[in-house]
Amino acid sequence: MRLARVEGLPYPDSCIPASDFPVTLSTSPPVRPIRPLERAFFDRSPRRVARELLGKVLVRDGGRLPLAARIVEVEAYLGEADPAAHAAAGNTARTSVLFGPPGRAYVYFIYGNHYCLNVSCEREGKAGSVLFRAVEPLLGIEKMARARGIPLQGPRDLPKLTSGPGRLAEAFGITRTRDNSRDLTSPNSGLWIGEDGWRAGNIQITPRIGISKAANEPLRYMLAGNAFVSGRKTPARD
DNA sequence: TTATGGATTAGCT
DNA sequence: GCTAATCCATAAA
């Protein structure tokens, strides 16, 4: 599938077809610049950072072809007092990034197969993070498909690229060795988070996915109706 | 040194 | 809906 054919996809109203997305990156003309988020953005509670990350853009531009995707689903992990957070184990070799300065990548390996990407929040010395659960591809769709090992035969295949924390990490080539502790506020870093003026529409909040402790806390944030959200797309009914 | 279980995914019923 | 795959950090010994 070529980028041009992505036009006309049944994207939700809140989203822009990838081929219409104007950005400033090393290989495309500056039309609507993506500005990196400042460190102060992340120096706040995970709840606020999570909610405000919706609609922002994750960018990988170290290689020849840049990748960009809009953030559509995240979860907040509150630090040492949150039993579901890795920081609950304290400051260890694995979790030290969570206790470091805000705006850094915390990448961990899970279930023997997958990497997951977080960004650290709160001031240095205080743990807290936001897990990236799903993004919507904007640039570099074919490259993401190659990284995922998925043949793109039609629009319906697109969510398989980046819908889920393990999937988006694979699509972006994110690994612990390569990316853990990377500064996500610097465009020179090769992996960073920016904003392009796009505004999130309706936001839905539900309990987090795949955890056993603090399983009912409403700490999962997503764009309502977005096709790239993973798992349950609405709050559970009683 | 060994045991345990996990912030998942893909494939099958 | 169910579960195997697969490895690492942590806890227990």
What confidence tens digit (pLDDT) does each residue in A22-80 have? 332 223 333 468 899 999 999 999 999 999 999 999 999 877 788 999 999 999 999 99
Angle of CA points A132, A133, A137, to nearest 5°:
90
A211 has pLDDT over 80: yes
The C-alpha atoms of residue A108 and residue A181 are separated, in whole angstroms, by 11
Residues forming beta bridges with residue A74, ordered by sequence position: A132, A221
- pLDDT given for residue A135 in this prediction: 94
Q: Is the CB of A129 under 7 A from strand B?
A: yes
More confident residue, A167 or A19: A167
CB A144 within 8 A of CB A196: no
CA–CA distances in Å: residue A121 to residues A44, A58, A114: 6, 16, 22
- pLDDT given for residue A36 in this prediction: 95
Angle of CA points A72, A168, A105, to nearest 5°:
90
CA–CA distances in Å: residue A61 to residues A68, A94, A215: 8, 26, 36
Strand B: which nucleotides have any atom within 7 A of a protein Cβ? 6-10
Query: CA of A111 and C1' of B5: distance in angstroms?
Result: 9
The C-alpha atoms of residue A124 and residue A101 are separated, in whole angstroms, by 4
- The pTM of this model reads 0.87
Q: Over range A112-133, report the average pLDDT.
A: 95
Query: CA of A232 and C1' of B13: distance in angstroms?
Result: 21
Nearest of A213, A217, A220 to residue A234 by alpha carbon: A220
Query: CA of A238 and C1' of C1: distance in angstroms?
Result: 20
A7 has pLDDT over 60: no
Count of alpha carbons within 13 angstroms of residue A38, beta-carbon side: 3
CB A118 within 8 A of CB A105: yes
Count how many residues are written for chain A: 238
Strand C: which nucleotides have any atom within 7 A of a protein Cβ? 5-11
pLDDT tens digits, one per residue of A142-200: 899 999 998 888 778 889 999 999 999 999 999 999 999 999 999 888 999 999 988 89
In the 82-121 stretch of chain A, whose C-beta falls under 7 Å of nucleic acid strand C? 86, 89, 92-95, 108-109, 111-113
- pLDDT given for residue A155 in this prediction: 79
- pLDDT given for residue A33 in this prediction: 81
Give the distance, in angstroms, between the CA of residue A119 and the centroid of all CA atoms in the same chain: 9
